Amino acid sequence: MSSTTHQTPVYSVELFPPKTAQGMEKLKGAIERINSVGPEYFSVTYGAGGSTRERTFETIDWLCGQGIDTAPHLACIGSTRAEVKSILERYRDQGIRRLVALRGDMPSGTGGGHSGEFRYASELVSYIRSQFGDVFSIEVAAYPEYHPQAGNPARDLEYFKHKVEAGADGAITQYFYNADAYFGFIESCCRVGVDIPIVPGIMPITNFTQLARFSDASGAEIPRWIRRRLEGYGDDAESIRAFGHEVVLTLCRHLIEGGAPGLHFYSMNQSDPVMRLWEALGLPQPG
């Protein structure tokens, strides 16, 4: 894993912008709790086509106001260059120095919307570099189990390499529960000369129905043995959480021991599952 061990591991946490004022208040509490263990940064998702734009800004503004290191996601599909530029200027002026640059997917029910001026994330990365130089450090998405629309794995890898050549500094993966998929992907990257840090995305398991829905949409596989155990617990939320914690803890240990350059937790705006993992893994904490 030589490509992934050349820097201090980065442990980060992802949030999504809440829909309601009440959700925002709950999120602030969750952020304060998670922030007490000292993640490197919080990232905040963004709806393609600008569908969650204002709510993303509100969440980013609050985080920046608290002096918390923040990485906004920016999805380019459905946007014009001028729209993207004004968002980037806003972030630059707020002192933001890290972005997660994505293509995104048009929200269903928009009738396709206007397709905008970017087709792929690589074009967004090139645009950011051409307009803003090295102001931002840029993370992109990676898919150890391959992107659901990818024609074949070799092509997907080639397109991933385009994003890196366009100027990405690092990548965060889609979540997965099979560590071999991650290590295999890293090996393939090494073979084609891609050696940016590729941080595994970690999805805690707390709710089977929700996880199954996400996994169907994103192409992230839930291994049969995990699915069967989760199904078997039915409505027993406590057993699902306990089993889910053990599965994800074992995965994280395996990834860290194998040289992963950090972990990126998909918090789903919940503090408890992330903090339980953080503590059980003995991840660095402030002071």
Q: Pick from 104, 5, 3: which is nearest to 46 by CA?
A: 104
Binding of ligand FAD by 163 (CB under 6 A) = yes
What minimum distance in Å lies between the beta carbon of 104 and ligand FAD? 3
Q: How far is the CB of 77 from ligand FAD (least distance, A)?
A: 8
Q: Shortest approach of ligand FAD to residue 199 CB, angstroms?
A: 9
Residues 56-75 that bind ligand FAD (CB under 6 A): 73, 75
Q: What are the two backbone dihedrals, phi and then psi, of residue 140, each rounded to the nearest 5 degrees?
A: -125, 170
Nearer of residues 213 and 228 to ligand FAD, judged by Cβ: 213
- The answer to whether 272 and 263 have CB atoms below 8 angstroms apart is no
Stretch that binds ligand FAD, among 20-28, 83-91, 115-123, 241-249 (CB under 6 A): 115-123
- Token pair 């397709």 in the structure block, residue: 115
Site string for ligand FAD, 73-102 (x = CB under 6 A): x-x------------------------x-x
* Residue 83 near residue 50, CB atoms below 8 Å: yes
* Nearest C-alpha neighbor of 161 from the set 195, 194, 199: 194
Q: Are 63 and 91 in contact (CB under 8 A)?
A: no
Of 63, 71, 172, 251, the one binding ligand FAD (CB under 6 A) is 172
Nearest-approach distance from CB 105 to ligand FAD, in angstroms = 5
Mark whether 32 is an active-site residue: no
Residue 150 sits in the site that holds ligand FAD (CB under 6 A) = yes
Least separation in angstroms between residue 138's CB and ligand FAD is 11
Phi-psi region of 213 (alpha: psi -120 to 50; beta: other; left: phi over 0): alpha
Strands (E), the chain: 10-15, 42-44, 70-75, 98-102, 137-142, 170-175, 198-202, 262-266
Q: Which residues bind ligand FAD (CB under 6 A)?
A: 45-48, 73, 75, 100, 102-105, 120-122, 141, 147, 149-150, 155-156, 159, 162-163, 172, 174, 201
Active-site amino acid positions:
14
